[in-house]
Amino acid sequence: MFIKKTEKQTVLKPLQVVIGIVERKQTLPILSNVLIEKEAGKIRFTATDLEIQITTTVISQDDDLAPLSITVGGKKLQEILRILPDQSEISIEIKDNKAQIKSNKSRFSLQTLPPQDFPKLSNQLLNPKKILLTQKKLKALLLSIQYAMAQQDVRYYLNGVLLIIESNQLKAVATDGHRLAYNAIGIEGNYEKHEIILPRKAIIELCKLLNDSEEAVEIEFSTQQVKADFSGITLITKVIDGKFPDYERVIPKYTNHLLMNRIQVQQALQRAAILSNEKFRGVRFVLTEKKLTIISSNSEQEEAQEEIEINYHGEAIDIGFNVNYLMDGLNNIEGELATFSFGDPNSSILITTSQIQEFRYVVMPMRI
């Protein structure tokens, strides 16, 4: 018997931790599988896509000390366990290269592949540097900027997040070439400057798996690999080899600042977005004396207009932006107020907030 009678959650919970990087269709069939290893008092679950590897371990009450391992279709096993009634007890047995899953009167037989063929990532953390911080701080840092990452951009180094460890700070930058998000947090210690680009998939998994708690996360990093250890989970990822854009040059220094109620602007943008062009998603910001007008229109000659009273006394500005980009920034910061800083009608907009001192969000203008 591979796993004796146990609650379905004992297997389902750790499976859900690693399953995020498993794709159903893979060039290598074994990459659709999860490696499950049983040792004395422990069951370990591992998934990989050859770029990222996630491992988690749970305590087992099984008194069988013989080490055993199988690889089985991750998504299929997850679906089977998820749909079984709550409080179900399951057992898993290996028979004729198949995993026999039993629960009450339900029986499932899943194909397995040899565990020795499972391609675990080799350890490339040679003389790694380490940082220690709370899961809550790291999760908040990544969530505040991850929406600005590119998706499948040919400039592969944009499909991820730049992390900079320097002095007593951990900085994070994401950009897709149209907008850029930057934030930084304090860490213990004093480090020489070190830059790494983590792939998009690793960032998304970290955002999902990290807790909003004061529990620690230990990050080890070298030029080729990064390893994060937290809550019984180990995530190892390759780093993206490439030159990230000079983010400091992109973040403007303006003198034209406008303090506005974040929720009020957010809601006005949501309403204006309804009638914006479905493809380009453009809205116009028209700044005049004491008034901001947000205008959107589409190819059917429909138009939306929102007016917000403001304390503005500078010259009039008429500038276009992608409404989704603006809302992304406002959705991912806290606090009642946000500061909008402007240059001229051809310049980007800078969004900051006093709630997060280091946060910077830059959106490039668009012609409408």
Q: Are 262 and 175 contained in the same domain?
A: no
Question: Domain range holding 218?
Answer: 129-249
* Structural domain ending residue among the three candidates 64, 86, 117: 117
Q: Are 144 and 218 contained in the same domain?
A: yes
In a domain, 368, yes or no: no
**Does the pLDDT of residue 139 top 80, yes or no?**
yes
Amino acid in position 101: I
Q: pLDDT tens digit string along 294-324?
A: 999 999 999 999 999 998 887 889 999 999 9
| Whole-number pLDDT of residue 313 | 80
Q: Smallest Cα–Cα separation from 76: which of 123, 112, 115, 103?
A: 112
At residue 289, φ and ψ (nearest 5 deg) are -55, 115
Asked if 348 and 361 touch (Cβ cutoff 8 Å), the reply is no
| Whole-number pLDDT of residue 66 | 76
Angle at 264 between CA 260 and CA 267, to 5 degrees: 140
Q: Are 15 and 94 contained in the same domain?
A: yes
CA separation for the pair 216, 346 (Å, rounded): 44
Q: What is the edge-to-edge ordering of all strands in the sheet holding 98-103?
A: 3-7, 89-95, 98-103, 106-113, 68-73, 33-39, 42-48, 52-59, 233-238, 225-230, 216-221, 129-134
Q: Are 201 and 257 contained in the same domain?
A: no
What mean pLDDT do residues 105-126 have? 94
What mean pLDDT do residues 122-147 have? 95
What mean pLDDT do residues 51-58 have? 96
Give residue for tokens 């400039």: 155
Mean pLDDT, the chain, as a whole number?
A: 94
Q: Are 193 and 289 contained in the same domain?
A: no
Number of domains in the chain: 3
**Does the pLDDT of residue 186 top 70, yes or no?**
yes
Give residue for tokens 């911080």: 133
| Whole-number pLDDT of residue 104 | 93
Q: Are 234 and 274 contained in the same domain?
A: no
Q: Are 144 and 245 contained in the same domain?
A: yes
The alpha carbon torsion through 331, 332, 336, 341 (nearest 10 deg) reads: -90
CA separation for the pair 190, 165 (Å, rounded): 9
Single pTM value for the model = 0.94
In a domain, 123, yes or no: no
Q: Are 54 and 152 contained in the same domain?
A: no
**Does the pLDDT of residue 24 top 80, yes or no?**
no
| Whole-number pLDDT of residue 245 | 95
Q: Are 235 and 323 contained in the same domain?
A: no
* Structural domain ending residue among the three candidates 249, 284, 304: 249
In a domain, 215, yes or no: yes
* Structural domain ending residue among the three candidates 117, 142, 168: 117
- What 3-state DSSP class applies to 143? helix
Residues paired with residue 226 on neighbouring β-strands, in sequence order:
221, 237
Q: What CATH number is attached to the domain comprising 35? A: 3.10.150.10
In a domain, 82, yes or no: yes
| Whole-number pLDDT of residue 60 | 82
What mean pLDDT do residues 60-75 have? 84
| Whole-number pLDDT of residue 65 | 63
In a domain, 293, yes or no: yes
Q: Are 225 and 260 contained in the same domain?
A: no
In a domain, 124, yes or no: no
Report CA Rg, the chain.
25
Q: pLDDT tens digit string along 156-179?
A: 999 999 999 999 999 999 999 999
**Does the pLDDT of residue 230 top 90, yes or no?**
yes
Residues paired with residue 59 on neighbouring β-strands, in sequence order:
42
Structure tokens at 108: 């499932």
Q: pLDDT tens digit string along 71-84?
A: 999 999 999 999 99
| Whole-number pLDDT of residue 63 | 66
Q: pLDDT tens digit string along 264-299?
A: 999 999 999 999 999 999 999 999 988 999 999 999
Q: How many CB atoms lie within 10 A of CB 242?
A: 13
In a domain, 122, yes or no: no
Share of the chain above pLDDT 70, in %: 99
Q: Are 203 and 217 contained in the same domain?
A: yes
**Does the pLDDT of residue 54 top 80, yes or no?**
yes
Q: Smallest Cα–Cα separation from 228: which of 36, 53, 59?
A: 53
Q: Are 280 and 319 contained in the same domain?
A: yes
What mean pLDDT do residues 327-336 have? 93
